[in-house]
């Protein structure tokens, strides 16, 4: 007997990736590193990258109401005063809140992912419940970054 679709990590991972690829990369052209603990600059063949977002999955609980902690690293280079970092953080943050909802909490579409060429099936939503924003941090190589620690919750059939 297999896991129900709402309890599958693969569906969770694919849904989060799709959401951020569609919103951050496709809409804004911002480079992404998904689920990669290496926080270095993403490799590109066409241009130097001076801003990017890295998203990692933290601890997870599978239960009737499941939870996951995401860490979103907003990073910039060639940003003496940190203004580009502020703009990048604002861009990412807007996808973590929803001012059209009465509770202002964003809903990330939760899909059952399918093999290439098949349609994704919408299972429900993943709710963004908390966002903790770090101070600005500067690395030895002058990369500036800020970490958004994001709590997610969704109903699951475990």
What CA–CA distance (Å, rounded) separates 66 from 82? 36
Judge if pTM exceeds 0.85.
Answer: yes
Q: What is residue 23's DSSP assignment?
A: I
Total of domains in the chain: 1
The pLDDT of residue 38 is 63
- The pLDDT confidence band at residue 46, using thresholds 50, 70 and 90, is low
The 10s digit of each residue's pLDDT in 35-45 is 876 656 665 55
Tracing tokens 């603990």 back to the chain, one arrives at 37
What CA–CA distance (Å, rounded) separates 35 from 55? 6
Q: CATH code at 86?
A: 3.30.2000.20
Q: Which two tokens stand for residue 83?
A: 């203004």
Q: Taking a C-beta distance cutoff of 8 angstroms, is the pair 144, 137 a contact? A: yes
Q: What 3-state DSSP class applies to 54? A: strand
Q: Could you tell me the residue range of the domain that residue 90 belongs to?
A: 5-155
């Amino acid at each position: 007997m297999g896991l129900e679709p709402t309890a599958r990590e693969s569906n969770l991972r694919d849904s989060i990736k799709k959401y951020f690829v569609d919103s951050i990369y496709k809409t804004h052209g911002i480079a992404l590193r998904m689920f990669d603990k290496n926080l270095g600059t993403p490799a590109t063949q066409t241009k130097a990258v001076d801003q990017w977002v890295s998203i990692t999955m933290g601890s997870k609980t599978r239960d009737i109401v499941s939870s996951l902690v995401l860490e979103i690293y907003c990073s910039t280079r060639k940003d003496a005063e940190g203004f580009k970092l502020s703009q990048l953080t604002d861009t990412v943050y807007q996808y973590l809140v929803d001012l059209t909802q009465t509770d202002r909490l964003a809903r990330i579409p939760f899909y059952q992912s399918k093999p290439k060429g098949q349609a994704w099936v919408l299972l429900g939503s993943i709710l963004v419940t908390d966002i903790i924003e770090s101070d600005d941090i500067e690395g030895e190589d002058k990369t500036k970054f800020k970490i958004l620690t994001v709590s997610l919750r969704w109903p699951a059939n475990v």
